[in-house]
A and B are shown apart, each in its own frame.
Chain A
Amino acid sequence: MADPIALALREQFHSAEQQRETSTVGMWIFLITEVMLFGGLFTAFSVYRMSHPAAFDQGSADMEFWMGAVNTAVLICSSFCMAMAVHSAEKGKNGRLAFFLILTILIGLVFLGIKFTEYYLHYHDQKLPGIVFHDTSPDAAYVQMFFVFYFLMTGLHAFHMIIGEGILGAMLFRTLLGSFSERYHTPVELAGLYWHFVDTVWVFLFAIFYIPGAHMK
């Protein structure tokens, strides 16, 4: 009776196969809505960047380039660990699954730590629009706009990271309870999809915020 699939099969489905496929479709649709959510911000950012390229480059030059670069590497590592976690789940190796989940969570925390240090540094430099913003250049309004988008977009991303940490924590908890097996591990796969998506968003954020002004240091 303790067949994990039978236990996890919800009443609206006919088979575990159908349940797995349906959940996967649901997750992909959710990720598409996320693309549209970030897409709105990317669009607005691009429009303003095209109108005020010099000011936006100047804002970009104020980024902590190396912290951003290190964070990019950090997230790529975390994506690798997440992929290993999903792989372990597929093989039914729960010990390794737990290990890689813990690793992914820790690396995610490193990312958030670096990110919030950066935020603190910007605050220190008086580059926090709406709270304390100081810029003497003639383009100050547009430099500020760059920072508005920077905080909006990386903030939204960091929010997604925090949610992701929660999800991975829940996955770890269920792994330790023994809920997953070779035959049933859909939640881990879906959490993996979400995590990879959030990591991918960061790569684009790094590209638009950090790289354009990197040569101006």
Chain B
Amino acid sequence: MATVTLFEPQSAPAQPRLNYLTEKTGLMSWLFTTDHKRIGLLYVFSITFFFFFGGFFALLMRLHLLLPQGWLFGHETYNKLFTMHGIIMVWFFLIPSIPNTLGNFVLPMMIGAKDLAFPKLNLLSWYIFMLGGMTTLYALVRGGVDTGWTFYTPFSTSYSTSFVITAAVGILIAGFSSILTGLNFIATVHRMRAPGLTWFRLPIFIWSTYATSLILVLATPVLAITLAMIGIERIFQVGIFDPALGGDPVLFQHMFWFYSHPAVYIMVLPAMAVVSEIIPTFSRKPIFGYKAVAFSSMAIAILGFLVWGHHMFVAGESAYAAMTFSFLSYMVAIPSAIKVFNWTATMYRGSVQLDTPMLYAIGFVALFTIGGMTGLFLAALGIDVHVTDTYFVIAHFHYIMVGGTVMAFLGGVHYWWPKISGKMYPEFLAKLSALTVFLGFNLTFFPQFILGYMGMPRRYAAYPPEFQVLNVLSTAGASILGVGYVVPLIYLMWAWKYGESAPDNPWRTTGLEWKTPSPPPKHNFEETPVVTWKAYDFEAQKEELHLG
């Protein structure tokens, strides 16, 4: 069989062992690859592009808001800026960010599989994603969209003169990419696990990604059909959501948030997945309360479907509905809090090492906690009425999505970088930029909590002069944050070529993905591993990992 190569003597001056990067080369070998690792990298390139694109819009907005009356753009352009920022960041960066890049790359390896269940579908999903992205960019170059990323009706169906349909079609297309990825992950986790890898031996990363995939397949179709209805109403001017034509705009909001609240968990569950890998590794301890953490992912996925009404407390919801949604929103905080407690308990009395991924993970826990707590403020009816559509809301969800998801994404990229590229990154520079991101982030968004609480509404191109100091602080923070994002981009590219070669298991940790060469061969493992241990069992692998 093909395993002969295994027994080649190490000293033989044979050519270097082929890995997934060197096994085939050339552009076509990438565009037609079905290797989950290469597809993961294709996604990395795509979403990095979209991230800096969307980030650029954010920076423009922050610059504009340096002066109370604004100075760079007209109001209509400003409307388009925040809309395109939202659309690109939500659908073309945050939703695919961790699952489609890191998830694609490590999920099959973590469960000891050669690939995902449906590799061709995986590649198709990337092409669909790119098609959706290009369609949305086309809407942008034609003149953009001004409805806000939420597409509220009847503005989006009857009054906006911008390219609503093109953008909606772009998002709809990208949605099918999400669905295919979710489907692929679920089938993979169910049927492709290595022998002996039972559900309760799975790393938490798999549990959380599985929960994410459930949301992807259950919620995304509803978004697709809702956007399709907007398109139809807009093209044919027939009543679906426009009250002038007999429709009900609040129904649109229900359907939109039925997707878009769970979508928040599509963004944050994978972040939790990454952090649940990093923290045990750099604490040298199994995760505290494995089952509680695993089940809390599932609980978040399920409860997340029952809270969408908290986006509509001021939209004409009945008092009973509002109270129910408020109560359920509190409930969803419980599994999130369980995770935070268990991560903290994992670090407690562990031998904590502050490597770069750990810095990001700790940053995630801190910022996610703030974002989550302020989410509770917003779940409370009285406070929500006061701060609805203010910067308080903006600050809250940026703490979750940027402070949470982007921090975890960067942490995960650093954590698996040695595996992905086979190279180490410059540690000092990495730590420095992790710190920069953390500080820049807080300086950008903490003032926005205060602004929102004082009543500054979101989505306005101008504001009263008394808010200027906090706005200037926020813009200053955004500039620092921008630097914090560009520096890793540069040194990671540098490390790809010039970095030190990475060992197979640089963090001396337990996951299956570390038991294969860096970078891994095409089919991940020379031989299918047989798993006889629990996840994060440092004690059992003490010898092998040279610990203690």
Contact = CB atoms under 8 A, between A and B. Distances in A.
Contact of B117 (A22, A129, A142): A22
B179 interface: yes
A22 B222 contact: no
B221 A47 contact: no
B296 interface: no
B246 interface: yes
B523 to A, nearest CB: 8
Given A44-B229, A130-B235, A142-B246, A33 B191 contact: no
Given A25-B191, A33-B179, A36-B221, A148 B117 contact: no
Given A12-B117, A25-B191, A40-B226, A130 B251 contact: no
A135 interface: no
Nearest to A48: B248
B245 interface: yes
A70 interface: no
B255 A12 contact: no
A29 B215 CA distance: 12
Contacts of B255: 40, 43-44
Interface in A20-75: 21-22, 25-26, 29-30, 32-34, 36-41, 43-44, 47-48, 51
A25 B186 CA distance: 8
A53 to B, nearest CB: 14
A45 B226 CA distance: 12
Interface in A112-149: 129-131, 133, 141-142, 144-145, 148
Nearest to B219: A36
B340 interface: no
Contacts of B188: 22
Most interface-central of B240, B246, B255 (chain A CB within 10 A)? B246
Interface string B114-135: 1111110000000000000000
Most interface-central of B182, B184, B238 (chain A CB within 10 A)? B238
Given A22-B191, A36-B221, A152 B239 contact: no
Interface residues of A, number: 35
B191 A21 contact: yes
B247 interface: yes
Contacts of A11: 114-115, 523
B225 A14 contact: no
A26 B182 CA distance: 10
Contact of B240 (A33, A36, A148): A148
A152 to B, nearest CB: 7
A144 to B, nearest CB: 6
Contacts, number: 103
B217 interface: yes
A46 to B, nearest CB: 11
Contacts of B117: 12, 22, 25-26
B237 A130 contact: yes
Contacts of B236: 129-131
A21 B191 CA distance: 7
Most interface-central of B184, B191, B217, B528 (chain A CB within 10 A)? B191
A22 B192 CA distance: 8
B513 to A, nearest CB: 16
B225 A18 contact: no
Interface residues of B, number: 42
Interface string B192-224: 100000000000000000000000011111101
B483 interface: no
A138 to B, nearest CB: 12
Most interface-central of B187, B235, B240, B255 (chain A CB within 10 A)? B187
Given A32-B218, A40-B222, A148-B240, A26 B183 contact: yes
Contacts of A43: 255
A25 B187 contact: yes
A144 B221 CA distance: 25
B221 A40 contact: yes
B221 A12 contact: no
B235 A152 contact: no
B113 interface: yes
Nearest to B224: A37
Contacts of A32: 217-218
A152 B229 contact: yes
B251 A29 contact: no
Contacts of A39: 221-222
B301 to A, nearest CB: 14
Contact of B247 (A21, A131, A145): A145
Contacts of A14: 528
A161 to B, nearest CB: 18
A58 to B, nearest CB: 14
Contacts of B179: 33
Contacts of A51: 248
A11 B245 CA distance: 55
B158 to A, nearest CB: 14
A36 B184 CA distance: 17
A144 B229 CA distance: 15
B232 interface: yes
Interface in A61-101: none
Given A43-B255, A144-B238, A36 B119 contact: no
A87 B220 CA distance: 34
Contact of B183 (A33, A36, A38): A33
Contact of A145 (B225, B226, B239): B239
Contacts of B528: 14
Contact of B248 (A21, A47, A129): A47
Contacts of B226: 40
Contacts of B119: 10, 12
A157 B540 CA distance: 55
Contacts of B113: 12
B17 interface: no
The 4 A-B residue pairs whose C-beta atoms are closest, nearest first, are A130-B236, A141-B246, A40-B225, A37-B221
Interface of B: 113-119, 179, 182-184, 186-188, 190-192, 217-222, 224-226, 229, 232, 235-240, 245-248, 251, 255, 523, 528
16 contacts: A11-B523, A14-B528, A18-B192, A25-B186, A33-B221, A36-B219, A36-B222, A37-B225, A39-B221, A40-B221, A40-B255, A41-B225, A44-B255, A48-B251, A51-B248, A129-B236
